C-alpha cells in the first residue's frame, strides 16, 4: 500500500511556526538576561545613592540623642529595603525592619561595596560605605526577591503579549500558506478532472512564478503526447486505407490461381500474387518509416562518409537498374563527411534513386552527384526522363500523392519520407529541370540552398 503523501502546506506551517517559536524563545532569553542586567544596575545604583545620602545626612545632623532611632516605614515597598548607620561601631540609625546587628562586618571586618548575604533565611543585596571620617559605616540592603518581582513585572508586559500573539500568528500563517498553495491545489484538481483525450495547454494566467515552469513542462508534455497520438491515428488511417488495395489484389490473384486449370495462367496469377506481396511489403516499410519519423523527437547524429553511403545504395539498386536497362552513374571522387543519422539518410537516398528508376523509362540515364559545398554537402539525383509539371512538383511530399498517368505502382509516401528526413537534418530541397540530362533534378544541400 502506497504511503500517504506529505502535505506541503503542513510542512510549511510546521517549519515556519517552529522557526518563529525558536526565535521567540531565544528572544525571550535575551530579553530576560538584558532586563535582569539592567535592573540590577539600576537598583544597585539606587542602593549606592541611598547610602551616599545617609552618609551626608548623618555627618551633618548626628548628635548624642539620636543614637538608636528607628526610621519610620513610609512606603509599601519599604519592608523590602533596610538600612543601618553605625558610628564608631555603635548603631545610631536603622530602618524598622533592619536587624540590630551589622548586616556586614564592622570595624576591621568592614568591607565597602556590594555583597549578597542571607539574613534570617532571606537573601539580601547589601551595599556598604564609609562616612567622611571613616568612623561612620552605612549599610543599605534590598531583598533579592523584590528584584525578581520587578523583573517578572517587566517581562510580563513585554513577553506575555508576544506569547498571546503566537496563536494569532499561527492562524495567520495557516491562512497565508493556504492561499499561497491554492494554485497548486487548483492545478492538481484541474489535472484530475481532465479527460484523457483533452490535451489542450493549461492556462498560465495568474500562475505564480514557482508553478509556471511546471505548467510549461506539462504543456510541453501534452503537446508531445498529442503529436504521438496524432501520429498513431494517422498511421492507423494510412495503413487501413493503403493496405486494403494490395491485400484485395493479392486475394483476387490467389482466387484466379485456384480457379485456373491452365498452367500458364495459373503461373501468371501466382507471379501477380508475388508482385502484390512485394508491393504490400514496400508499403508497410514506407508506413513504418514514416511513423517512426513522426514519433521521433530528434534523430541521433554522427559523422559519416556520405559518398560511401550513396555508393552502397547505388550498389543495392543496381540490379533493378540493370533489369530495366537503365544506367546509374555516381560522381563522387573524394570522401564527403556529413553529420547525420546514417539509417534515415540511407532511406532518403534510396527513395530518391528508387523514384528515378521507377518513373524513368527503360534505357534512361540517372546521374548521382555527391560533393562538398562550402561547410556543407550537396547530393543531386538527376535523370533524362520526362520530368514533372510545375503543379505536380508543388504537391510533392503530400501523403499518397502520385503523378497521374504513371504506370508504376507505388504508395505515394516516398516523397513524404524524403521531406521529413530532410527537415530533421535541416537540408534544403531544390526540384528543377536538369540542365545536364534534360529530365528532373532533385538536389539536397546543407548550409545554404543549392544554385542550379
d(CA 171, CA 164) in angstroms, rounded, equals: 12
Q: Where are the alpha helices (DSSP H) in 62-132?
A: none
Query: What pLDDT band is residue 380 in, cutting at 50, 70 and 90?
Result: very high
Classify each residue of 242-263 as buried b or exposed e, where b means 16 or more C-beta atoms within 10 Å of its C-beta: beeebeebbeebeebbeeeeee
Closest to 304 in 3D by CA, of 345, 352, 332:
345
Count of other CB atoms within 10 angstroms of residue 73? 13
Segments making up each domain of the chain, as ranges: 9-165, 199-297, 302-446
By CB atoms closer than 10 A (0-12, 13-18, 19+), residue 197 is: exposed
Identify the pLDDT of residue 405: 44
Identify the pLDDT of residue 326: 92
Mean pLDDT of 48-61: 61
Percent of the chain's residues with pLDDT above 70: 73
- Grid coordinates representing 16 are 515556519
User: What is the domain class of 302-446 according to CATH?
Assistant: alpha beta
Residues 6+ apart with CB under 8 A from 162: 24, 27, 28
Q: pLDDT per residue over 246-281, tens digit each?
A: 677 788 888 888 888 788 888 888 888 887 787 777
CATH annotation of 199-297: 1.10.287
Identify the pLDDT of residue 367: 93
Identify the pLDDT of residue 369: 93
Query: What pLDDT band is residue 54 in, cutting at 50, 70 and 90?
Result: low
Q: pLDDT per residue over 318-333, tens digit each?
A: 888 998 899 999 998 6
Kindly tell me if the per-residue pLDDT of 198 is higher than 60. yes
CB hemisphere CA count around 330 (13 angstroms): 18
Percent of the chain's residues with pLDDT above 90: 6
Equal fold, 199-297 vs 302-446:
no
pLDDT, greater one: 52 or 195: 195
Q: pLDDT per residue over 293-321, tens digit each?
A: 666 656 678 899 999 999 988 988 888 89
9-165: CATH topology: Beta-Lactamase (3.30.450)
Identify the pLDDT of residue 107: 60
pLDDT, greater one: 135 or 304: 304
- Grid coordinates representing 361 are 523509362
pLDDT, greater one: 30 or 108: 30
Amino acid at each position: 500500500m502506497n504511503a500517504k503523501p506529505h502535505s506541503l502546506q503542513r510542512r510549511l506551517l510546521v517549519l515556519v511556526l517552529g522557526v518563529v517559536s525558536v526565535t521567540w524563545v531565544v528572544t525571550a532569553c535575551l530579553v530576560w538576561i538584558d532586563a535582569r542586567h539592567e535592573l540590577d544596575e539600576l537598583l544597585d545604583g539606587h542602593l549606592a545613592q541611598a547610602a551616599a545620602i545617609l552618609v551626608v545626612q548623618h555627618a551633618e545632623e548626628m548628635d548624642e540623642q539620636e543614637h538608636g532611632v528607628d526610621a519610620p516605614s513610609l512606603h509599601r515597598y519599604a519592608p523590602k529595603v533596610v538600612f543601618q548607620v553605625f558610628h564608631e561601631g555603635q548603631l545610631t540609625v536603622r530602618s524598622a525592619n533592619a536587624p540590630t546587628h551589622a548586616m556586614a562586618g564592622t570595624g576591621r571586618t568592614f568591607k565597602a561595596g556590594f555583597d549578597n548575604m542571607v539574613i534570617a533565611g532571606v537573601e539580601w543585596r547589601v551595599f556598604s560605605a564609609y562616612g567622611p571620617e571613616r568612623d561612620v559605616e552605612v549599610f543599605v540592603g534590598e531583598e533579592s526577591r523584590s528584584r525578581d518581582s520587578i523583573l517578572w513585572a517587566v517581562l510580563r508586559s513585554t513577553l506575555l503579549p508576544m506569547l498571546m500573539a503566537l496563536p494569532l500568528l499561527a492562524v495567520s500563517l495557516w491562512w497565508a500558506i493556504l492561499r499561497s498553495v491554492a494554485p497548486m491545489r487548483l492545478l492538481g484538481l484541474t489535472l484530475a478532472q481532465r479527460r484523457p483525450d483533452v490535451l489542450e495547454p493549461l492556462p498560465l494566467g495568474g500562475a505564480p512564478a514557482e508553478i509556471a515552469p511546471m505548467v510549461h513542462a506539462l504543456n510541453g508534455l501534452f503537446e508531445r503526447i498529442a503529436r504521438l497520438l496524432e501520429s498513431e491515428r494517422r498511421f492507423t488511417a494510412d495503413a487501413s486505407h493503403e493496405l486494403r488495395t494490395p491485400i484485395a489484389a493479392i486475394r483476387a490473384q490467389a482466387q484466379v490461381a485456384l480457379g485456373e486449370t491452365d498452367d500458364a495462367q495459373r503461373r501468371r496469377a501466382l507471379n501477380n500474387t508475388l508482385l502484390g506481396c512485394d508491393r504490400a511489403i514496400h508499403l508497410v516499410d514506407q508506413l513504418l518509416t514514416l511513423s517512426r519519423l513522426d514519433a521521433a523527437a530528434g534523430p541521433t547524429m554522427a559523422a559519416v562518409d556520405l559518398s560511401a553511403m550513396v555508393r552502397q545504395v547505388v550498389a543495392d539498386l543496381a540490379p533493378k537498374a540493370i533489369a530495366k536497362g537503365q544506367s546509374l552513374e555516381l560522381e563522387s571522387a573524394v570522401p564527403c563527411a556529413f553529420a547525420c543519422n546514417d539509417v534515415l539518410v540511407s532511406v532518403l537516398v534510396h527513395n530518391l534513386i528508387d523514384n528515378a528508376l521507377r518513373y524513368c523509362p527503360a534505357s534512361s540515364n540517372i546521374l548521382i552527384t555527391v560533393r562538398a559545398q562550402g561547410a556543407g554537402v550537396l547530393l543531386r539525383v538527376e535523370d533524362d526522363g520526362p520530368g514533372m509539371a510545375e503543379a505536380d512538383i508543388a504537391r510533392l511530399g503530400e501523403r499518397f500523392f502520385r503523378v497521374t498517368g504513371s504506370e508504376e505502382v507505388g504508395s505515394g509516401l516516398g516523397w513524404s519520407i524524403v521531406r521529413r528526413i530532410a527537415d530533421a537534418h535541416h537540408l534544403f530541397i531544390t526540384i528543377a529541370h536538369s540542365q545536364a540530362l534534360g529530365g528532373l533534378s532533385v538536389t539536397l544541400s546543407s548550409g545554404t540552398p543549392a544554385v542550379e
